Amino acid sequence: MASYTTIEDWQDVEDGYVIDVTIRQTEDKKYPCGWDYSLHHGEVGGDTILRYDNAHEQTKGHERHTRNDVEIIEFPGMLTLYDRFQREIEEMSPVSWNWSE
């Protein structure tokens, strides 16, 4: 069984919105990039506003989900993707988030 090392795993809820971040490094063959991740921003109990994930990396690749669309993206590396997610959330969210360092 492949091992996983958790790098980030946290959730924050503010004013009806949620950020849920899971980033794990792995040698699991399901994740050829070496990462198993989900970076999610949405309404509590409701719609996804923005999510990046690779839940189906071998068949679909890396995905960027919005309220109305799913697009396949190039994986720029975990740190670059996390920074991109954080910038996008800061631009679109009415909530000021306390990002984990």
pLDDT in tens, the chain (101 residues): 789 999 999 999 999 999 999 999 999 999 999 999 999 999 998 899 999 999 999 999 999 999 999 999 999 999 999 999 999 999 988 888 887 66
**pLDDT value of position 82:** 97
φ, ψ for residue 60, nearest 5 deg = -115, -20
**pTM of the model as a whole:** 0.93
**b/e 20-37 (16+ beta carbons within 10 angstroms → b):** ebbbbbbebeebeeebbb
Residue 4 CA to residue 76 CA, distance in Å, equals 21
